[in-house]
Structure 1
Amino acid sequence: MSEQLDESFETLLRYMRDARGFDFTGYKRTSLTRRVRHRIEQLGVTSFEDYLDVLQASPEEFAALFNTILINVTAFFRDPAAWEFLRAEVIPNLVSARGGDQTIRVWSAGCASGQEAYTLAMLLADAMDPDAFRQRVKIYATDIDEDALTEARGASYDERAVESVPPDFLERYFEHVGNRYVFNKDLRRAVIFGRNDLVKDAPISRVDLLVCRNTLMYLNAETQRNVLRRLHFALAPAGVLFLGHAEMLLSHSDKFAPVDLANRIFVRAAGSRSELTRVEAPDPRTERQGSLTGLAPIRDLAFAASPVPQIVVTGQDTVAMINHQAEVTFGLSARDIGRLLRDLEISYRPVELRAYVEQAKVERRAAKIADVSWERPGAETTWFEIHVNPLVDSENGLVGVSVVFFDVTANRILVEKVVQTNGQLESAYEELQSTNEELETTNEELQSTVEELETTNEELQSTNEELETMNEELQSTNDELHTINETLRERTGELDDAKTFLGSLVNSINVGMIVLDREMRVVSWNGGSEELWGMRAEETTGVPFTNLDIGLPIEVLKPLIGNAFVDPQATGQALVQAVNRRGRRIEVRVTCSSFRSVDGVVSGALLMVESEEPPDR
């Protein structure tokens, strides 16, 4: 049964990846399963199979699911001690090392709603001259959650969100607008937000400071290794990596060296080599002069007739050109020209293109995406190598981005054949190595002992990461409860105001007003009644009206009250002799009508008692 549940959950993950391009297959199953179960329980769904049916029938459910999975728990200056070390030790060294006019490149990976990226901007601005900051600092802030990125670009936060910002920073770098705090516009221009999936998208390169906090702990060991290779590639020589306090890097000492282990700050290890390959783009600004005229139609025809699928996107992400081969291969047409890239299936299938297009626009550098498979029903798998090239004019102004799909299926088949041949050669070589294996047995036993110790250490690290994940989930739940509590407090205040208003209204009536329920118990007794009979509301509320000895002939009034209980429209009057609170005989006029609820149901009787004589002096 457990295997069946596991398989149904994996099927759900694959559908999310294929339908929306969100690949959670590398996330730890314990916390991921817990978050998805939390969502399906909210909907009253009992199984992963049924929830898959919900997603297929209601695509809008994806947004709610992603908001549940992506726990965007973040804050300004989260873990203050670590940020203080970064401010006092790391940033001054970084600014000093990058002297002159050199650009300082910072990457906030998994930035959520932007607090971390803006914290970096404040610390760097504080360490530099304002003009130098605006000219030299570039902060790239990325996340997989588009809704969180939209909130981050707005840079507007409520009072609770900025509680952790030091008062002097809050005054210098935020503008108080209504009940919100808006981050400084000049500093905001240095922060560039974009979507990037750390698991599969190309990393930003030549980064001096890379902040990736409390993100790795959600990933399984294999995916962590893959992401760390990308982060290592992203860092410039001597670049600094800042992780969350549950992330240790104990098994990656060949790539990263600790600067301050307690605060999880590391530096790219000297002499370490990246396992990824940089792709250098040719200079797109090279101008070719010629004396030929009327070349535009020829260029258009050549583009359309190219045997390689190609599309061109403007700087505003609008599809500007599609050649014939792209139409045939990906099912596009001339009607797609003028549409936004994100509205086309090709933007995320066979690969998520938008991050690469955004990177090409920001960095003015070409990117190459290798080994992209394209599976179509009834056809063999096609393999592409995709080139994403920025199109810039002679003044380095961005005109657009070209995306070219090179079919490398034949090359891949050839490579597989070569690999197969190599496998045969290796088999022969292994026979020659059998003699050497006996000598290596002792070494392997020692290595096995070391690996067991490393495994135990990794299990402890995994447990620590799982506890941190649960802590963030609890913090997210606490934030939700805080919001609910604020709403209830506001409602309670409104009810108190309404109650005070009604009490003032009732006591402002100069005549006696008595409200009875259907058992003739006193529900309301106003100040006019207290003045007539000398009994306070506390003494009469809840007491049967017939038990009150107030000098009012209640037996005479019973028919009026009974009629009010029966007929909602009935209103009766009686002029009776009574004795007031001073023991003096007076004549009073009693008006009795039905007391009705909002929906018109009779819930009691309303008595208005007015003295026909002037008040006592």
Structure 2
Amino acid sequence: MGFDEFLKEVSFLFGLQWRLFRRKGIKRKVERRIGEIGASNFQNYLQRVRTDPEEQKHLSRILTVTISRFFRDQKVFQTVVDSILPALLKEKDREDLRVWSIGCASGEEPYTLSLLWKEGFEKAWLHIHLSILATDIDESLLERATGGRYKKSSLKEVPEGTLRNFFKPEDGYYVLAQNIKENVELKRHDILHEEPFSEMDIVFCRNLAFTYFSKTAQIEVLKKIASSLRERGYLVIGKDESLPLTYPTLFIPVFPIERIYQKF
């Protein structure tokens, strides 16, 4: 079995689009992993992956690139602050605000949302309880998010005042303040193979499902997201992503440049 055939097989297994992968880099990583566990070739390693859930997790980390920073794509967060949150908060009888960050990696995205709430909304909306659910399939990334320790490279887009007020330099890292972490619940979850959560006002699903997943898997994920959102809730995807063609039956684009959609 050659590498391309191996890649097609595991992509089908994980519901991914194999043509998108940068083969040379991934091939090196897979070959390194084959050597680490003593598998003899791609065929042998594929058999291991099919029967070993832990190895499936390891290979999934190799295949899906994780690039995460605080305030990544600032215009998206600015739109959330200027338009989305005010619209939601104006709704009559609202007592809570529920956000789901899918594929949260090391926590930069959900913690960015918590920072924005703390700085711009919390004092004026004391009666509103903000709840941010942050999920990922990779438990090692969730452990990192729990620790809340970040290198400077993850913080280059954080405003200076925010960095000063909510991060503490410590041993070459920056440690996030506990009062920012308190709004965020971290949980392992596989959006493709598990049932979605419910009663969400905003779902962030950026640079994951609509980049790596097959079209069939994308449609399944989109249906799950729609079912998880409250009436007229919002979906935010990555700036270079697009929804599968079935989306007009579920969502309308409200801020198309920022890739923000609303359930209807």
TM range (shorter): 0.7 to 0.9
Max Rg structure: 1
Q: In 2, Cα distance between the equivalents of 1:49 and 1:72? A: 26
The amino acid of 1:40's aligned partner reads V
**Counterpart of 2:72?**
78
1:123-272 correspondence to structure 2 within 5 Å: 123-130=116-123, 132=125, 136-215=129-208, 216-249=210-243, 251=245, 252-269=247-264
* Aligned equivalent of 1:41, options 13, 31, 38: 31
Does the 8 Å CA contact 1:112/1:145 hold for their aligned counterparts?
Answer: yes
Displacement of 1:9 after TM fit?
5.1
Does the 8 Å CA contact 2:26/2:62 hold for their aligned counterparts?
Answer: yes
**Counterpart of 1:94?**
88
Q: In 2, Cα distance between the equivalents of 1:13 and 1:250? A: 18
Displacement of 1:68 after TM fit?
1.2
* Aligned equivalent of 2:115, options 122, 125, 137: 122
**Counterpart of 2:99?**
106
- CA 30–220 in structure 1, closer or farther in 2 if over 3 Å, else same: same
Q: In 2, Cα distance between the equivalents of 1:232 and 1:202? A: 12
Does 2:60 align with 1:66? yes
In the TM superposition, what whole-angstrom CA distance separates every residue of 1:326-358 from its partner, at most 9, and x where no partner exists? xxxxxxxxxxxxxxxxxxxxxxxxxxxxxxxxx
Displacement of 1:103 after TM fit?
0.9
Does 2:23 align with 1:29? no
Partner-residue secondary structure (3-state), 1:160: helix
Partner-residue secondary structure (3-state), 1:224: helix
Does the 8 Å CA contact 1:109/1:212 hold for their aligned counterparts?
Answer: yes
Does the 8 Å CA contact 1:36/1:65 hold for their aligned counterparts?
Answer: no
The TM-score, its normalising length taken from structure 2, stands at: 0.84
The amino acid of 1:199's aligned partner reads L
**Counterpart of 1:448?**
none
Partner-residue secondary structure (3-state), 1:106: strand
- CA 57–63 in structure 1, closer or farther in 2 if over 3 Å, else same: same
Does the 8 Å CA contact 1:124/1:133 hold for their aligned counterparts?
Answer: no
In the alignment of these two chains, the number of paired residues is 257
- CA 224–66 in structure 1, closer or farther in 2 if over 3 Å, else same: closer
Displacement of 1:149 after TM fit?
0.8
Does the 8 Å CA contact 1:157/1:182 hold for their aligned counterparts?
Answer: yes
Partner-residue secondary structure (3-state), 2:115: helix
The amino acid of 1:85's aligned partner reads T
The amino acid of 1:31's aligned partner reads L
Partner-residue secondary structure (3-state), 1:97: coil
Q: In 2, Cα distance between the equivalents of 1:59 and 1:256? A: 34
Displacement of 1:37 after TM fit?
2.5
The amino acid of 1:261's aligned partner reads P
Partner-residue secondary structure (3-state), 2:169: strand
Displacement of 1:163 after TM fit?
1.4
Partner-residue secondary structure (3-state), 2:254: strand
Q: In 1, Cα distance between the equivalents of 2:138 and 2:92? A: 32
Does the 8 Å CA contact 2:68/2:154 hold for their aligned counterparts?
Answer: no
The amino acid of 1:232's aligned partner reads A
Q: In 2, Cα distance between the equivalents of 1:231 and 1:59? A: 25
Does the 8 Å CA contact 2:196/2:224 hold for their aligned counterparts?
Answer: yes
**Counterpart of 1:372?**
none
**Counterpart of 1:526?**
none
The amino acid of 1:108's aligned partner reads S
The TM-score, its normalising length taken from structure 1, stands at: 0.38
- CA 142–213 in structure 1, closer or farther in 2 if over 3 Å, else same: same
- CA 123–99 in structure 1, closer or farther in 2 if over 3 Å, else same: farther
Partner-residue secondary structure (3-state), 1:105: strand
Between 1 and 2, higher relative CO (CA 8 Å, sep ≥ 6) is seen in 2
CA RMSD of aligned residues (A): 3.1
Runs of 4+ that moved beyond 6 A: 56-60
Partner-residue secondary structure (3-state), 2:211: helix
Identity of aligned residues (%): 29
Partner-residue secondary structure (3-state), 1:125: helix
Q: In 1, Cα distance between the equivalents of 2:188 and 2:126? A: 24
Q: In 1, Cα distance between the equivalents of 2:129 and 2:211? A: 32
**Counterpart of 1:584?**
none
